[in-house]
Structure 1
Amino acid sequence: MTASASGQPVRPIPAVLAVMVRGDEVLLIQRANPPDAGLWGFPGGKVEFGEALLRAAERELLEETGVTGTAEQVIDAVDAYDIADDGTLRAHFTLIAVHCRWQAGEPAAADDALDARWVPLAELGRTLVLSRDVARIARRAASLTA
Protein backbone atom coordinates (compact mmCIF):
# COMPACT_ATOMS: atom_id res chain seq x y z
CA MET A 1 0.00 0.00 0.00
CA THR A 2 1.22 3.48 -0.76
CA ALA A 3 0.79 6.63 1.29
CA SER A 4 -0.17 10.16 0.35
CA ALA A 5 2.02 13.19 1.09
CA SER A 6 0.21 13.45 4.44
CA GLY A 7 1.15 9.85 5.24
CA GLN A 8 -2.44 8.59 4.96
CA PRO A 9 -2.90 5.27 3.14
CA VAL A 10 -4.19 5.66 -0.40
CA ARG A 11 -6.72 3.14 -1.65
CA PRO A 12 -8.88 2.82 -4.76
CA ILE A 13 -12.25 4.55 -4.50
CA PRO A 14 -15.22 2.29 -5.33
CA ALA A 15 -17.65 3.74 -7.86
CA VAL A 16 -20.43 2.41 -10.07
CA LEU A 17 -21.31 2.81 -13.74
CA ALA A 18 -25.02 2.48 -14.57
CA VAL A 19 -25.06 0.69 -17.95
CA MET A 20 -28.46 0.91 -19.63
CA VAL A 21 -29.36 -0.35 -23.10
CA ARG A 22 -32.84 0.23 -24.51
CA GLY A 23 -33.50 -1.33 -27.89
CA ASP A 24 -30.48 -0.53 -30.06
CA GLU A 25 -29.35 2.47 -27.97
CA VAL A 26 -27.22 2.96 -24.88
CA LEU A 27 -27.61 5.77 -22.34
CA LEU A 28 -24.48 7.93 -22.10
CA ILE A 29 -23.51 11.17 -20.39
CA GLN A 30 -20.79 13.68 -21.13
CA ARG A 31 -18.72 13.83 -17.96
CA ALA A 32 -18.17 17.22 -16.30
CA ASN A 33 -15.49 16.13 -13.81
CA PRO A 34 -12.19 14.22 -13.84
CA PRO A 35 -11.28 11.63 -14.61
CA ASP A 36 -12.44 11.82 -18.23
CA ALA A 37 -14.00 15.30 -18.07
CA GLY A 38 -15.55 16.09 -21.46
CA LEU A 39 -15.61 12.46 -22.57
CA TRP A 40 -18.74 10.35 -22.98
CA GLY A 41 -19.43 7.44 -20.67
CA PHE A 42 -22.01 5.85 -18.45
CA PRO A 43 -23.79 7.66 -15.63
CA GLY A 44 -22.11 6.83 -12.36
CA GLY A 45 -20.24 7.90 -9.31
CA LYS A 46 -18.89 6.99 -5.91
CA VAL A 47 -20.54 4.36 -3.76
CA GLU A 48 -21.64 5.95 -0.49
CA PHE A 49 -20.64 4.40 2.84
CA GLY A 50 -23.06 1.55 3.64
CA GLU A 51 -24.67 1.66 0.18
CA ALA A 52 -25.12 -1.51 -1.87
CA LEU A 53 -23.64 -1.49 -5.40
CA LEU A 54 -26.97 -2.00 -7.17
CA ARG A 55 -28.62 0.76 -5.16
CA ALA A 56 -25.70 3.10 -5.90
CA ALA A 57 -26.13 2.47 -9.64
CA GLU A 58 -29.86 3.27 -9.48
CA ARG A 59 -29.18 6.45 -7.47
CA GLU A 60 -26.44 7.73 -9.79
CA LEU A 61 -28.56 6.96 -12.87
CA LEU A 62 -31.44 9.04 -11.53
CA GLU A 63 -29.22 11.88 -10.22
CA GLU A 64 -27.29 12.34 -13.47
CA THR A 65 -30.00 11.70 -16.07
CA GLY A 66 -33.46 11.73 -14.49
CA VAL A 67 -33.97 8.19 -15.83
CA THR A 68 -35.31 5.49 -13.52
CA GLY A 69 -33.94 1.98 -13.86
CA THR A 70 -33.65 -1.31 -12.06
CA ALA A 71 -30.08 -2.42 -11.40
CA GLU A 72 -29.81 -6.14 -12.11
CA GLN A 73 -26.23 -7.36 -11.99
CA VAL A 74 -22.55 -6.47 -12.05
CA ILE A 75 -21.19 -7.05 -15.56
CA ASP A 76 -17.63 -5.73 -15.44
CA ALA A 77 -15.05 -3.75 -13.46
CA VAL A 78 -12.35 -1.39 -14.71
CA ASP A 79 -9.83 0.99 -13.16
CA ALA A 80 -9.72 4.73 -13.84
CA TYR A 81 -6.97 7.12 -12.79
CA ASP A 82 -7.03 10.87 -12.22
CA ILE A 83 -3.50 12.01 -13.04
CA ALA A 84 -2.29 15.59 -12.55
CA ASP A 85 -0.41 17.47 -15.28
CA ASP A 86 2.86 16.71 -13.45
CA GLY A 87 2.13 12.97 -13.60
CA THR A 88 1.10 12.65 -9.95
CA LEU A 89 -1.69 10.20 -9.26
CA ARG A 90 -4.52 12.16 -7.62
CA ALA A 91 -7.09 9.38 -7.42
CA HIS A 92 -7.60 5.74 -8.37
CA PHE A 93 -11.19 4.62 -8.96
CA THR A 94 -12.40 1.05 -9.28
CA LEU A 95 -15.46 1.36 -11.52
CA ILE A 96 -18.03 -1.41 -11.19
CA ALA A 97 -20.30 -1.62 -14.24
CA VAL A 98 -23.88 -2.52 -13.32
CA HIS A 99 -26.43 -3.59 -15.92
CA CYS A 100 -29.66 -1.62 -15.45
CA ARG A 101 -33.06 -2.06 -17.11
CA TRP A 102 -34.93 1.05 -18.21
CA GLN A 103 -38.11 1.77 -16.25
CA ALA A 104 -39.10 5.37 -17.03
CA GLY A 105 -37.92 8.79 -18.12
CA GLU A 106 -35.89 10.38 -20.86
CA PRO A 107 -32.35 11.63 -20.24
CA ALA A 108 -31.69 15.20 -19.18
CA ALA A 109 -28.24 16.19 -17.93
CA ALA A 110 -28.12 16.89 -14.21
CA ASP A 111 -25.70 16.73 -11.28
CA ASP A 112 -22.20 16.42 -12.80
CA ALA A 113 -23.26 15.53 -16.36
CA LEU A 114 -22.84 18.13 -19.12
CA ASP A 115 -25.15 16.24 -21.49
CA ALA A 116 -27.13 13.00 -21.47
CA ARG A 117 -28.64 11.10 -24.39
CA TRP A 118 -29.46 7.78 -25.98
CA VAL A 119 -26.71 6.84 -28.45
CA PRO A 120 -27.17 4.15 -31.12
CA LEU A 121 -24.91 1.18 -30.35
CA ALA A 122 -23.84 1.12 -34.01
CA GLU A 123 -22.46 4.68 -33.68
CA LEU A 124 -20.34 4.16 -30.55
CA GLY A 125 -16.96 5.78 -31.07
CA ARG A 126 -17.90 7.33 -34.42
CA THR A 127 -19.15 10.77 -33.40
CA LEU A 128 -18.54 11.01 -29.64
CA VAL A 129 -15.21 10.70 -27.85
CA LEU A 130 -15.71 7.86 -25.38
CA SER A 131 -14.08 6.98 -22.11
CA ARG A 132 -12.03 3.79 -22.17
CA ASP A 133 -14.01 0.51 -22.30
CA VAL A 134 -17.40 2.17 -22.94
CA ALA A 135 -18.03 0.47 -26.31
CA ARG A 136 -16.98 -2.95 -25.00
CA ILE A 137 -19.11 -2.72 -21.86
CA ALA A 138 -22.11 -1.36 -23.81
CA ARG A 139 -21.96 -4.34 -26.18
CA ARG A 140 -21.81 -6.72 -23.23
CA ALA A 141 -24.90 -5.06 -21.73
CA ALA A 142 -26.69 -5.24 -25.09
CA SER A 143 -26.12 -9.00 -25.17
CA LEU A 144 -27.85 -9.27 -21.78
CA THR A 145 -30.78 -7.11 -22.87
CA ALA A 146 -31.47 -8.96 -26.13
Structure 2
Amino acid sequence: MTERPIPAALAVVVRGAQLLLVRRNNRPNAGLWGFPGGKIELGETVMEAAVRELQEETGVEAEARETLTSVDVIIHNNEGALEHHYVLVAILCEYISGAPLAADDVSEAEWFDYEAILANPDAQSPAVGDVARQAMMRLRGS
Protein backbone atom coordinates (compact mmCIF):
# COMPACT_ATOMS: atom_id res chain seq x y z
CA MET A 1 0.00 0.00 0.00
CA THR A 2 1.25 3.46 -0.87
CA GLU A 3 0.44 6.70 0.91
CA ARG A 4 -1.20 8.16 -2.20
CA PRO A 5 -3.35 6.89 -5.05
CA ILE A 6 -1.39 5.43 -7.97
CA PRO A 7 -2.08 7.09 -11.34
CA ALA A 8 -2.41 4.75 -14.32
CA ALA A 9 -3.54 4.94 -17.93
CA LEU A 10 -5.93 2.66 -19.82
CA ALA A 11 -5.83 2.30 -23.60
CA VAL A 12 -9.41 2.01 -24.88
CA VAL A 13 -8.94 0.79 -28.44
CA VAL A 14 -12.01 0.42 -30.65
CA ARG A 15 -12.00 -1.37 -34.01
CA GLY A 16 -15.45 -1.26 -35.59
CA ALA A 17 -17.86 -2.66 -33.00
CA GLN A 18 -15.08 -4.36 -31.02
CA LEU A 19 -12.86 -3.28 -28.14
CA LEU A 20 -9.51 -4.71 -27.14
CA LEU A 21 -9.36 -6.32 -23.70
CA VAL A 22 -6.65 -8.19 -21.81
CA ARG A 23 -6.84 -10.76 -19.01
CA ARG A 24 -4.76 -9.58 -16.05
CA ASN A 25 -2.18 -11.83 -14.37
CA ASN A 26 -1.58 -9.69 -11.28
CA ARG A 27 -3.54 -8.38 -8.33
CA PRO A 28 -5.78 -6.62 -7.74
CA ASN A 29 -7.65 -7.84 -10.86
CA ALA A 30 -5.93 -11.16 -11.61
CA GLY A 31 -8.00 -13.33 -13.93
CA LEU A 32 -10.34 -10.52 -14.95
CA TRP A 33 -10.66 -8.84 -18.35
CA GLY A 34 -9.88 -5.15 -18.65
CA PHE A 35 -8.40 -2.55 -20.92
CA PRO A 36 -4.66 -2.66 -21.53
CA GLY A 37 -2.87 -0.22 -19.28
CA GLY A 38 -0.65 0.42 -16.34
CA LYS A 39 1.17 2.90 -14.17
CA ILE A 40 2.23 6.25 -15.58
CA GLU A 41 6.00 6.65 -15.45
CA LEU A 42 7.70 9.78 -14.16
CA GLY A 43 7.92 12.38 -16.93
CA GLU A 44 5.41 10.55 -19.12
CA THR A 45 2.06 11.99 -20.15
CA VAL A 46 -1.08 9.95 -19.63
CA MET A 47 -1.47 9.69 -23.43
CA GLU A 48 2.09 8.38 -23.80
CA ALA A 49 1.52 5.89 -20.97
CA ALA A 50 -1.64 4.51 -22.60
CA VAL A 51 0.12 3.92 -25.94
CA ARG A 52 3.23 2.44 -24.28
CA GLU A 53 1.25 0.07 -22.06
CA LEU A 54 -0.89 -1.02 -25.02
CA GLN A 55 2.24 -1.86 -27.01
CA GLU A 56 3.91 -3.66 -24.08
CA GLU A 57 0.86 -5.77 -23.18
CA THR A 58 -0.52 -6.58 -26.64
CA GLY A 59 1.85 -5.52 -29.44
CA VAL A 60 -1.01 -3.47 -30.92
CA GLU A 61 -0.22 0.01 -32.20
CA ALA A 62 -2.66 2.87 -31.74
CA GLU A 63 -2.73 6.63 -31.48
CA ALA A 64 -4.05 8.27 -28.32
CA ARG A 65 -6.91 10.62 -29.21
CA GLU A 66 -8.63 11.93 -26.09
CA THR A 67 -9.42 11.36 -22.44
CA LEU A 68 -12.72 9.54 -21.91
CA THR A 69 -13.03 9.43 -18.14
CA SER A 70 -11.25 8.54 -14.92
CA VAL A 71 -12.06 5.63 -12.65
CA ASP A 72 -11.18 5.24 -8.96
CA VAL A 73 -10.34 1.67 -8.00
CA ILE A 74 -10.34 1.45 -4.21
CA ILE A 75 -9.95 -2.02 -2.71
CA HIS A 76 -10.16 -2.96 0.96
CA ASN A 77 -9.10 -6.28 2.49
CA ASN A 78 -11.39 -8.49 4.61
CA GLU A 79 -10.56 -6.49 7.72
CA GLY A 80 -11.55 -3.24 6.01
CA ALA A 81 -8.03 -1.86 5.61
CA LEU A 82 -7.18 -0.14 2.36
CA GLU A 83 -5.10 -2.40 0.08
CA HIS A 84 -5.08 -0.57 -3.26
CA HIS A 85 -6.09 2.81 -4.62
CA TYR A 86 -5.59 3.48 -8.31
CA VAL A 87 -6.81 6.40 -10.38
CA LEU A 88 -7.22 5.04 -13.91
CA VAL A 89 -7.42 7.54 -16.76
CA ALA A 90 -9.16 5.98 -19.76
CA ILE A 91 -7.74 7.20 -23.08
CA LEU A 92 -9.65 6.64 -26.32
CA CYS A 93 -7.14 5.34 -28.88
CA GLU A 94 -7.39 4.95 -32.64
CA TYR A 95 -6.32 1.49 -33.82
CA ILE A 96 -3.41 1.55 -36.29
CA SER A 97 -2.13 -2.02 -36.67
CA GLY A 98 -1.24 -5.32 -35.09
CA ALA A 99 -2.89 -8.51 -33.94
CA PRO A 100 -3.17 -8.71 -30.15
CA LEU A 101 -0.65 -11.02 -28.55
CA ALA A 102 -0.53 -11.30 -24.76
CA ALA A 103 2.74 -10.12 -23.23
CA ASP A 104 4.10 -8.40 -20.12
CA ASP A 105 1.62 -8.93 -17.24
CA VAL A 106 -1.39 -10.29 -19.18
CA SER A 107 -2.29 -13.88 -20.08
CA GLU A 108 -4.66 -13.16 -22.99
CA ALA A 109 -5.45 -10.29 -25.35
CA GLU A 110 -8.54 -10.36 -27.56
CA TRP A 111 -11.03 -8.22 -29.45
CA PHE A 112 -14.51 -8.40 -27.92
CA ASP A 113 -17.81 -7.32 -29.41
CA TYR A 114 -19.23 -4.36 -27.54
CA GLU A 115 -22.45 -6.24 -26.74
CA ALA A 116 -20.50 -9.20 -25.32
CA ILE A 117 -18.65 -6.85 -22.95
CA LEU A 118 -21.92 -5.45 -21.64
CA ALA A 119 -23.37 -8.96 -21.24
CA ASN A 120 -20.55 -10.33 -19.06
CA PRO A 121 -19.64 -7.85 -16.28
CA ASP A 122 -18.61 -10.54 -13.74
CA ALA A 123 -15.59 -11.51 -15.87
CA GLN A 124 -14.29 -7.94 -15.98
CA SER A 125 -12.44 -5.44 -13.86
CA PRO A 126 -14.62 -2.73 -12.33
CA ALA A 127 -16.06 -0.12 -14.73
CA VAL A 128 -15.05 -1.89 -17.97
CA GLY A 129 -18.64 -1.85 -19.25
CA ASP A 130 -19.09 1.82 -18.35
CA VAL A 131 -15.86 2.84 -20.05
CA ALA A 132 -16.74 0.76 -23.14
CA ARG A 133 -20.14 2.45 -23.28
CA GLN A 134 -18.56 5.89 -23.09
CA ALA A 135 -16.10 5.02 -25.87
CA MET A 136 -18.82 3.78 -28.21
CA MET A 137 -21.02 6.82 -27.48
CA ARG A 138 -18.12 9.17 -28.17
CA LEU A 139 -17.35 7.46 -31.48
CA ARG A 140 -21.01 7.51 -32.50
CA GLY A 141 -21.24 11.22 -31.70
CA SER A 142 -23.78 10.81 -28.89
Q: Does TM, scored on the shorter chain, surpass 0.5? A: yes
Match of 1:33 in 2: 26
Q: Does 1:132 align with 2:126?
A: yes
Q: Which runs of 4+ in 1 moved over 6 A?
A: none
Distance 1:12 1:33 in 2: 18
Which of 35, 38, 41 is the aligned partner of 1:45? 38
Is the counterpart of residue 23 in structure 1 residue 16 in structure 2?
yes
Q: What percentage of aligned pairs have identical amino acids?
A: 44
Task: State the distance in 2 between where 1:60 and 1:36 align.
Answer: 16
Q: Distance in 2 between matches of 1:124 and 1:43?
A: 15
Counting only pairs closer than 5 Å after superposition, residues 85-124 of structure 1 correspond to structure 2 as 85-124=78-117
Give me the whole-angstrom Cα distance separating, in 2, the residues matched to 1:54 and 1:20. Answer: 13
Name stretches of at least 5 consecutive residues in structure 2 with no aligned partner. Answer: none
Match for 2:45: what amino acid? A
Distance 1:86 1:38 in 2: 23
Residues 91-120 of structure 1: per-residue CA shift (max 9 Å, x gap): 211000000000010111100011100000
Higher helix proportion (structure 1 or 2): 2
Distance 1:106 1:127 in 2: 23
* C-alpha displacement of 1:83: 3.5
Q: Which has the larger radius of gyration?
A: 1
Aligned residues: 139
Calculate the aligned-residue CA RMSD, in Å. 1.7
User: TM-score scaled to structure 1, two decimals?
Assistant: 0.88
TM-score between both structures, scaled by the size of structure 2: 0.90
Answer with 109-118 or 133-142: which moved more: 133-142
User: How far off is 1:71 after superposition?
Assistant: 0.5
> For structure 1, which runs of at least 5 residues remain unmatched after alignment?
none
